[in-house]
Structure 1
């Protein structure tokens, strides 16, 4: 980074504050809903059986501990750099850089994986080749992001309503079948339920991304925490009801063998037309998830560059649209490269590794800031403490560690390699700062 970079960045335009509470909440619902439950329900059912609904409840509880921590930290530090800002204030820049690195990677892998899911659905419906379809949707979504945050929010809201309608459709299809199976049937016992809980945590990926809208939300210290908790609650109810409906119609054995579980549920209940309708809705669901992941990854990239931890060019903001256009293009290109990453379950679990590790640090940051800076303003405060130690963030650390232990050894190895690479880059970053 050149010595002039800080001065140049001080004069650059800021992001545009366009988003109110409804837009932020629906944006959050949009990124949480989608590829996770549409693509992973079958795999999770193979591990948890008819008790798959319980895995969504367990994951929601664990996500809730960390969501409250995000809510407190976002009210203290309403910045687009989000996790980087929080950890930098609580622990230090080196750990903050590693966390930011992991979040950016999870966004890139997530966009690539979900776009492949889109390509699969699009290929089944139209006969188009999978890889060009996956690359094509990434390019289209990047154009939407470059156009402006208001336009992006309205596209996301529209697609959120469509994908939510798909889940509601599955719930309604399953209503006449409720009670037809044993909802506590666990073919692999409690161990299978816990493994499935670690997998379906990917379906909740997104609540943590909402805080990256802080510099584009009106009154972010109040809007973001409330929207975060509300979005998580809405999606949890939809997930549990949809999973109950799916096993009621199909049964866990058939559902576990399905690559398009929701579409198969619709086909068995209502025939070919319903299969096509759910397939089209799945296109909107996967596209919306990829859009919001691309948005969040570009914002933390912009935020870290704005804090001079990544090259200054990544913090450039368009004068016309007030979007971080260089960061958007960088994440877009990286996602296109990793569109060849492969099988969705493995990549989802690698993404989960980065999330669990990040959540451990985020919950620890809340605890450390309570001890080190008890008088710092907290417009939103996680309830429940023993002395000055907040209980729920402590539970967030413990439960995230527990889910981390459920991941496959190969996933843990790949995740550790990525974390070590981030640590190495953090030394380079700090050396560059001291040398510049």
Structure 2
């Protein structure tokens, strides 16, 4: 543990231009994205009629993570998120491991979002469309974070309008059956935990605000306000969508749905909504991809500053004031993954990495003193335990792959340290 003051400002700082509304929108753009269109069906397959319990568990863990992240971000308002918090509170290795988990996990998540765009826009050429989407959004981020915030605001408005239409059509249709919300014998403890882990994937965007700590105005106030607001709005939206879809499809119908929200629209007698939902899903995935690339590049910047990655990636563009080299490298890596990977494998791997990242965030928050703004001890304790439980409740293949990649990162760290001593 370290009681030192926050990390000193560095010469190549990013420009502080984002207020609370922009920060909330970036958080919403990260959370209310393709996850709600894609995660409900696999979560229903895992938990059956216990889906809403899984959603509640995911929300509790997300709230703990958000609270811990907000307090830490106010204390350390620089780019890097938990990479910085772990380094300052737990030691260099844990900061590095958090950064490694975030970068590799979210790179996989970027690829999954890009492929979601492709599958809705042009299913026969999903990989090609995915790569094109990555290139386009990397260019948007390269031009400056203010443009990213503007685009994100428009994307969130479209997504919320589509989701509101689905919820309204479902709740006002004759297909509603309240009995479908009752928890039955098909809901097992293990299944509910796995559903919570899958649904957590749809929540895990609130810390994107923390990774932008060097670009928000008055971060000590802006970040702790923006993260809970974004999380609260997201939880209300997700709960409304999950309840409405369950009422018209039921847990078994939802589990069997390839596109749950379009199936719900059809079951509700609103077939006209189907093409609207498809467009909304593509826009949602684009919004998530935009914010993901933004966050991964900022963590890459922070790690490059400390030479865990090549120091050339720490460069900040003199005109746009963005980490342009980091953004280009991240964009290239995501494009390569989007051209080759499988969506489900990418999502499982990403979930494991993100949960490991937040576990370190909660452990870091535990070390804060009351004078440093420490949350109630139950918050980081519950968040840490929840992250570990949900991570190991994921499918075995995701757990094994994720653990191997984290171990590879740890080995690389040890080798670099040994070479540095010579």
TM-score, normalised with respect to structure 1: 0.90
Matched residue, 1:6: none
Offset of 1:394 from its aligned partner?
A: 1.0
> Structure 1 pair 79/270, CA: closer, same or farther in 2 (3 Å)?
same
Find the partner of 1:408 among 391, 395, 404.
395
Segment of structure 1 superposing worse, 37-46 or 170-179 = 170-179
Describe how 1:8-407 pairs up with structure 2 within 5 A: 11-12=11-12, 14-124=13-123, 129-176=125-172, 177=176, 179=178, 181-185=180-184, 187-340=186-339, 342-370=341-369, 375=371, 377-378=372-373, 381-382=374-375, 384=376, 390-407=377-394
Offset of 1:11 from its aligned partner?
A: 4.9
| Alpha-carbon separation, structure 2, partners of 1:205 and 1:302 | 21
> Structure 1 pair 362/11, CA: closer, same or farther in 2 (3 Å)?
closer
8 Å Cα contact 1:113/1:341 also seen in 2: no
Offset of 1:413 from its aligned partner?
A: 1.0
| Alpha-carbon separation, structure 2, partners of 1:205 and 1:11 | 31
> Structure 1 pair 427/72, CA: closer, same or farther in 2 (3 Å)?
same
8 Å Cα contact 2:30/2:291 also seen in 1: yes
8 Å Cα contact 2:138/2:328 also seen in 1: yes
| Alpha-carbon separation, structure 2, partners of 1:270 and 1:159 | 27
Q: Deviations over 1:7-46 (max 9, x none)?
A: xx9654x211111101101110110111111111111112
SS in 2 for 1:266: helix
Q: Deviations over 1:152-171 (max 9, x none)?
A: 10001110111122222222
| Alpha-carbon separation, structure 1, partners of 2:363 and 2:284 | 33
Offset of 1:247 from its aligned partner?
A: 1.3
| Alpha-carbon separation, structure 1, partners of 2:182 and 2:152 | 34
| Alpha-carbon separation, structure 1, partners of 2:33 and 2:146 | 21
Offset of 1:284 from its aligned partner?
A: 0.7
Segment of structure 1 superposing worse, 422-431 or 337-346 = 337-346
> Structure 1 pair 209/11, CA: closer, same or farther in 2 (3 Å)?
closer
8 Å Cα contact 1:186/1:192 also seen in 2: no
Q: How many residues are paired up?
A: 411
> Structure 1 pair 326/46, CA: closer, same or farther in 2 (3 Å)?
same
Offset of 1:338 from its aligned partner?
A: 1.3
Segment of structure 1 superposing worse, 32-41 or 287-296 = 32-41
| Alpha-carbon separation, structure 1, partners of 2:10 and 2:57 | 45
| Alpha-carbon separation, structure 2, partners of 1:15 and 1:98 | 24
**Aligned-pair RMSD on alpha carbons?**
1.9
| Alpha-carbon separation, structure 1, partners of 2:301 and 2:266 | 44
| Alpha-carbon separation, structure 1, partners of 2:90 and 2:257 | 45
TM-score, normalised with respect to structure 2: 0.93
> Structure 1 pair 178/298, CA: closer, same or farther in 2 (3 Å)?
farther
SS in 2 for 1:322: coil
Q: Which runs of 5+ in 1 are unaligned?
A: 1-8, 385-389
Q: Deviations over 1:338-386 (max 9, x none)?
A: 114544333222211112222222111122343xxx65x43xx41x3xx
| Alpha-carbon separation, structure 1, partners of 2:136 and 2:239 | 32
SS in 1 for 2:15: coil
Segment of structure 1 superposing worse, 227-236 or 308-317 = 308-317
| Alpha-carbon separation, structure 1, partners of 2:115 and 2:304 | 29
Q: Which runs of 5+ in 2 are unaligned?
A: 1-8
8 Å Cα contact 2:111/2:346 also seen in 1: no
SS in 2 for 1:251: helix
| Alpha-carbon separation, structure 1, partners of 2:259 and 2:189 | 25
Q: Deviations over 1:258-299 (max 9, x none)?
A: 221112212332444310001011111000001111100001
